[in-house]
Amino acid sequence: MDKNTVIGLLLIGGLLIGLSIYNSPSKEQLALQKRYRDSIELVSNASQKANAQQVIANEVIKQQAAYSDSTQTDSIRNIELQKKYGDFYAAATGEEETYTIENELLKINISNKGGRITSVILKNYRTHDSLPLTIADKDSSAFALLLNNANKNINTQNYFFTPQQPAFSVSGSSSKSFSLRMNVSPERYLEYIYTLKGNSYLFDFKINMIGLADVVSNKESIRIDWRERALSTEKYKDGETNASTIYYQLQEEKETDYLTETGDQEEQLDQKINWVGFKKQYFTSVLVAKQGFNNSKLETKSLIGSKKYTKEFKASLELPYTASNLVSYDFSYYVGPNHFQTLKAFDMGFEKQIPLGWGILGWINRFAVIPVFNFLDSLNWGYGLIILALTLLIKIVLLPLTYKAYMSTAKMKVLKPEMDEINAKFEKEDPMKKQAAVMELYRKAGVNPLGGCLPVLLQMPILFAMFRFFPASIELRQKSFLWATDLSTYDSIYDLPFNIPFYGDHVSLFTLLMTISTLLYTRMNSSQFTGNAQMESMKWIMYLMPVIFLGVFNNYSAGLSYYYFLANMMTFTQQAIIKRLVNEDEIHRKIQEHKKKPAAKKSGFQARLEEMAKQAQERQKQANKKK
């Protein structure tokens, strides 16, 4: 840039500054412009405020209208609910929630819908496939009071109960309680209270009806509807089904009875009962009423086509009712194992649900087998060894009978040549004459023909008692021994790809061993069945029975088959020892000496037999004369 250029730029700048000063507004003009702008802003703010107020007013109008509509809708809805649900309409709606109370043995889930127990988990037990063992579940169980209100039938299972508080400990004890109410109003309600008493399978259940005298219109009774579809928890479902039924105790006689286990049954009870039990194979649910149940209707139904359930139980139970503003019912629940000592400890007859057999079979199991088994169990041995020891003790107790039976068999064996002579002599004679001659031989020889049968018959109650004891023993459940993974059910060494009628779809080795040993035992003792036509036919029956048992026991408790196998093997051993100690020549000598003595007085059996022979001969003579 040169000098002239710089001078030109300065002159232009000065000119622009001068023009700016010359054209700037005066103070009066600036004040006028400010007043104009303020007026415009004031008008704009007033317009915006008016618009905002109008918007607020419109929103208030909308909210008032919506509130009015909602109030009207709720009012109409309440009227409709009241028409449908009666005075309990406030409890007719809600959201289902589940609450839990538990101790070391039980975990009890309770739903606010119906206020009922939806499931009970037994913490110390598992299903056969190692899942938590649940007694019933939400979908398979039901419990409700059936009430009348304003000519409406109220089923409490359809209503919502309000929990009053979480599970709490009762002051001064280890008990835990949980309370729910089905409200008419805060002062009028139906209340359920569940109370766990320490670590026990038995817990309390109380029903309170507060201020409902003019609400509940039942006249003389209120009914409980209790139902359950029993969940399958064991390996062999058919056996589980056949071991499940309903038990109950009559109040007056204190006797326990039950519905049939092997089929469906419905029974109406006119007598008052103390408790009802939904008994499964190894577990049971029992509801006890301290005031008792009247006019009970019980029903069982097998769910054959179901893989999940075994049987359906239904109990309609009546409670006495008198209208009052304070009505209470006290109950106890037992949900737990069918363990004899556990059930017996409550002194309510619960242990009668364990099928130990009737009459003498039950006595043998209750007063002999179970105490010995419990003693052996207390030694902490394996259950295979316990069954072995139990079998050995039983065989020792029965040894005198076994010895007597063997001696009788030996005497019959010594007399066989003389029996053959009698059979040949009277072959063409009247059979009654031959029978009389045989009985005379027995009398002279001092031999009782029933001497071998009676000891065996006396042992039969123990054999049948064991048949009841082992399948009912929860102690064997899921206890293994050798190849048997569960002694309470069948053992299988081979699963068949098909099902054989009357046998099954598997091969039980313990059952095979029991059958083979029984056949060998029958063969060893078959000599006593020779020489007599009736005995000969019995021999084939004795051979047939083990074959039948092969099919029956194939699906039974492995512990039972194992016991029978051990019993047979011990019997072989006993007989082998006795045979070495017994001299048949000496027996023959004593029999011959006895024949020389005056014949003993005829027994009543011999006298009746001879009288029958005479009567038969007389009838034969009369028949021949008519011809």
Please tell me the distance from the alpha carbon of residue 357 to that of residue 299, in angstroms, as a whole number.
Answer: 23
What does the pLDDT read at residue 302? 94
Residue 131 lies in a domain: yes
What does the pLDDT read at residue 491? 93
| Distant-in-sequence, close-in-space partners of 613: CB < 8 Å, separation ≥ 6 | 432, 433, 435, 436
Query: Is 432 in the same domain as 343?
Result: no
Query: Is 183 in the same domain as 226?
Result: yes
Query: Is 77 in the same domain as 118?
Result: no
What does the pLDDT read at residue 604? 60
Query: Is 141 in the same domain as 194?
Result: yes
Tokens 């835990």 correspond to what residue?
A: 176
Query: Is 114 in the same domain as 48?
Result: no
Query: Is 131 in the same domain as 276?
Result: yes
Query: Is 66 in the same domain as 142?
Result: no
What are the start-end ranges of the H helices in 491-598? 509-524, 533-553, 558-581, 584-596
Instruction: Find the domain containing 118 and state its range.
Output: 94-355
Query: Is 532 in the same domain as 591?
Result: yes
Query: Is 204 in the same domain as 294?
Result: yes
What does the pLDDT read at residue 523? 79
* Region of residue 114 (phi > 0: left; psi between -120 and 50: alpha; otherwise: beta): left
Residue 592 lies in a domain: yes
Of 448, 616, 623, 453, nearest to 525 by C-alpha is: 453
Helix axes 431-445, 416-425, angle to 10 degrees: 150
What does the pLDDT read at residue 172? 46
Please tell me the distance from the alpha carbon of residue 154 to that of residue 166, in angstroms, as a whole number.
Answer: 27
Judging by DSSP bridges, how do beta strands 162-163 and 168-169 pair with one another? Answer: unpaired
What does the pLDDT read at residue 394? 92
Check if the beta carbon of residue 185 is closer than 8 Å to that of residue 319: no
What does the pLDDT read at residue 82? 67
CB-based burial of residue 153 (10 Å sphere; 0-12 exposed, 13-18 middle, 19+ buried)?
exposed
Query: Is 81 in the same domain as 137?
Result: no
- Return the bridge partners of 285, or none: 278, 335
Residue that terminates a domain, selected from 332, 355, 378? 355
Query: Is 290 in the same domain as 379?
Result: no
What does the pLDDT read at residue 198? 87
Residue that terminates a domain, selected from 315, 332, 355? 355
What does the pLDDT read at residue 167? 55
Q: What share of the chain is helix, strand, coil (3-state, %, to 5)?
A: 50, 25, 25
Residue 9 lies in a domain: no
Residue that terminates a domain, selected from 316, 331, 355? 355
Number of domains in the chain: 3
Q: What's the pLDDT tens digit per position in 340-364?
A: 999 999 999 999 999 998 888 889 9
Query: Is 155 in the same domain as 233?
Result: yes
Please tell me the distance from the alpha carbon of residue 533 to that of residue 182, in angstroms, as a whole number.
Answer: 78
Structure tokens given for 110:
């309770």
What are the start-end ranges of the H helices in 215-369? 237-242, 340-344, 360-364
Residue 118 lies in a domain: yes
SS3 for 471-493 is HHCHHHCCCCECCECCCCCCCCC
Taking the CA atoms of residue 534, residue 540, residue 546 and residue 550 in that order, the dihedral angle to the nearest 10 degrees is -130
Segments of the chain scoring below 50 in pLDDT = 169-172
Residue 624 lies in a domain: no
Residue 620 lies in a domain: no
Global pTM?
0.77
Residue 243 lies in a domain: yes
Residue 332 lies in a domain: yes
